[in-house]
A and B are shown apart, each in its own frame.
Chain A
Amino acid sequence: MANFRSRTLRGERTGSTASLRAVPATLRRTALYDAHVAAGAKMVEFAGWQMPVQYEGVGAEHRSVRERCGVFDVSHMGEIETSGPQALALLQRLLSNDVAQIDVNVDGGGAQYSVLCREDGGVLDDLFTYRLDTDRYLTVTNAANHERDLQWFLTHAADFPEAQVGDRIDHYAMLAVQGPRARAIVQAISDAPLPARMTAATRRVGGGDVLVCATGYTGEDGVELLCSPADAAGLWHELVRRGAEPAGLAARDTLRLEVCFHLYGNDLMVQRGPIEAGLGWCCREDTGFIGAGAVRAVREAGPVEKLVAFTIDGQGIARQGNPVAGGGEVTSGTMSPSLGVGIGMAYVPAERAAVGTRLEIDVRGKMRRAVVKQKPLYRKGS
């Protein structure tokens, strides 16, 4: 049994949960660190943070989210607040989607997914932006990209003197409560009805002010709760007491891959654009965002390669970095707890991206057969 304490999957980068290595002492801890240790979590390094990769086991945690309710600590994710009369104009410049389409209402507003692109269309991050008020927006970043995103926001804010950009990573802890029972569990400790899907609103939840975001990364119904770090442990324990089951980053990864949500650092990267990644639906080139020209050119010409979902035909598990015969590479791969087969996503030449196309993947020297499948790979009741 070799090196299992240090070996990560071939080609793996920061931004994946695989590492089994011991945790260096300088890593950041979330407000829930003590709660994780007390719950018996296996802690790993993730993007500079000590995070729970699993508690009882990834299979059980995965099923609890699909069948009941899981709670994840995702406080490592960052937040950037953009405010002021030119907040909308700045965000239109930065984000690929049409930010003007995000509604505002009496206690919150809409939520919108977008990517942040370079001038050449390369993807710097994928983000959710929530409208907090008429001229206030909160954008949630990936942990590994937060500092780069923040600098990108600040640099471009110089062109918009009436927009303010603020780092809010220390203002919030973030708990994702996901699964068929998630809304009922949170509703029971909330002072008002929870916001509708794809909107956000401030509520008193478990005694503290919480930005309740009706979004998620699992394919299940649920909410993501942004609260003060001081309130996080109390909220966590109250949710667990009411039946939410702690779930770690490993289950978060299997859940998101079954429904083909992208993971930055795996499926998204600066070397590839949003059209290749299948994210053209969140790009509105007519808003003039940075990279819009490059994105439009790829959309009009058609991408050379596309990100496809696949299942392995037979035994084996393809992993990030495995080459696809005839061109392309696997960017995410795992054993699907719901489907019981190896699944993944891969960039392949566009002419080989049609559903039903047979692929051969080189898994550490063994050729494994796979089939391109419709996204998502897992559907409720399938």
Chain B
Amino acid sequence: MAEANYPEDLLYHAEHDWARIDAGDPSLATLGITWYAQDSLGEVVFFDLPAVGASVSKDASYAEVESVKAVSDVIAPLSGEIVEVNQALSDEPQKINEDPYGEGWLVKLRLADPAEREQLMDAQAYAATLAG
């Protein structure tokens, strides 16, 4: 994905992460990193998959993503338990660059406190943080 893009249907964390609340189950969310994050990192060459069952805390690191020259923590936008990880990234971590909101998703989370979503930004507010 060559151009900056911040879908309207996602919620955003200031550390450049997104969350997509499941349409049918408000206690389930998919997480990933934003277009800005993957563009700043450059080509992702390794995503060390976290373990299913691990608990994550909002604003804390739950995984690492590595580009050729840098390693970065991935910050959880919401708290909960990991119920699924994107196994495809094990062989094709570049999907994080190619499709950060689709095939490049990282984990799915059973939310500990669905009300935390109120603290996240919408696409417009997140994009405004980047403009500064």
Complexed CA–CA distance, A42 and B70 (Å): 14
Q: Do A58 and B46 have beta carbons less than 8 Å apart?
A: no
Q: Do A335 and B68 have beta carbons less than 8 Å apart?
A: yes
Residues of B within 8 A of A (CB): 13, 15-17, 33-34, 37, 40-43, 45-46, 48, 61, 64-66, 68-75, 90
> Looking across the interface, which residue of chain B has its beta carbon closest to that of A16?
B69
**When each residue 1-33 of chain A gets 1 if its CB lies under 8 Å from chain B and 0 otherwise, what string results?**
111110111000000111010000000000000
B48 neighbours in A (Cβ, 8 Å): 315-316, 366
Q: Do B46 and A1 have beta carbons less than 8 Å apart?
A: no
Complexed CA–CA distance, A186 and B68 (Å): 30
Q: Do A20 and B40 have beta carbons less than 8 Å apart?
A: yes
Complexed CA–CA distance, A319 and B73 (Å): 15
What is the total number of residues of chain A having a CB less than 8 Å from a CB of chain B? 31
Q: Do B66 and A317 have beta carbons less than 8 Å apart?
A: yes
**Which 3 A-B residue pairings sit nearest by Cβ, starting from the closest?**
A1-B16, A335-B45, A4-B72
Complexed CA–CA distance, A364 and B37 (Å): 21
Complexed CA–CA distance, A269 and B10 (Å): 48
Q: Do A335 and B37 have beta carbons less than 8 Å apart?
A: no
**With contacts A7-B70, A250-B68 known, is A1 near B33, CB below 8 A?**
yes
Residue of B33, B34, B64, B66 most packed against chain A (CB within 10 A)? B66
Q: Do A4 and B37 have beta carbons less than 8 Å apart?
A: yes
Q: Do B68 and A7 have beta carbons less than 8 Å apart?
A: no
Complexed CA–CA distance, A315 and B64 (Å): 13
Q: Do B64 and A364 have beta carbons less than 8 Å apart?
A: yes
Complexed CA–CA distance, A337 and B45 (Å): 9
Q: Do B70 and A1 have beta carbons less than 8 Å apart?
A: no
Residues of A within 8 A of B (CB): 1-5, 7-9, 16-18, 20, 42, 53-54, 57-59, 250, 253-254, 315-317, 319, 334-335, 337, 342, 364, 366
Among A1, A16, A18, A337, point to the contact of B73 (Cβ < 8 A): A1
Among B13, B42, B64, point to the contact of A42 (Cβ < 8 A): B42
Q: Do A317 and B15 have beta carbons less than 8 Å apart?
A: no
B33 neighbours in A (Cβ, 8 Å): 1
Q: Do B37 and A1 have beta carbons less than 8 Å apart?
A: yes
Q: Do B17 and A1 have beta carbons less than 8 Å apart?
A: yes
**With contacts A1-B34, A1-B74, A5-B40 known, is A316 near B69, CB below 8 A?**
no
Dominant SS among interface residues on chain B: strand
Complexed CA–CA distance, A9 and B72 (Å): 9
Complexed CA–CA distance, A342 and B45 (Å): 10
**With contacts A4-B37, A315-B90 known, is A250 near B72, CB below 8 A?**
no
> Looking across the interface, which residue of chain A has its beta carbon closest to that of B13?
A1
- 9 A-B residue pairs with CB within 8 Å: A2-B61, A3-B72, A4-B72, A5-B40, A7-B73, A18-B69, A54-B42, A315-B90, A319-B71
> Looking across the interface, which residue of chain A has its beta carbon closest to that of B66?
A317
B46 neighbours in A (Cβ, 8 Å): 315-317, 335, 342
Complexed CA–CA distance, A317 and B74 (Å): 17
Among A59, A334, A366, point to the contact of B69 (Cβ < 8 A): A334
B68 neighbours in A (Cβ, 8 Å): 58-59, 250, 254, 334-335, 337
CB distance from A22 to the nearest CB of B (A): 11
Complexed CA–CA distance, A2 and B70 (Å): 12
CB distance from A199 to the nearest CB of B (A): 33
Q: Do A1 and B75 have beta carbons less than 8 Å apart?
A: yes
Q: Do B72 and A7 have beta carbons less than 8 Å apart?
A: yes
> Looking across the interface, which residue of chain A has its beta carbon closest to that of B93?
A335
Among B42, B65, B75, point to the contact of A250 (Cβ < 8 A): B42
CB distance from B10 to the nearest CB of A (A): 14
B75 neighbours in A (Cβ, 8 Å): 1-2
CB distance from A91 to the nearest CB of B (A): 35
CB distance from A363 to the nearest CB of B (A): 9
Q: Do B64 and A17 have beta carbons less than 8 Å apart?
A: no
Complexed CA–CA distance, A80 and B65 (Å): 41
Among A4, A57, A315, A316, point to the contact of B70 (Cβ < 8 A): A4
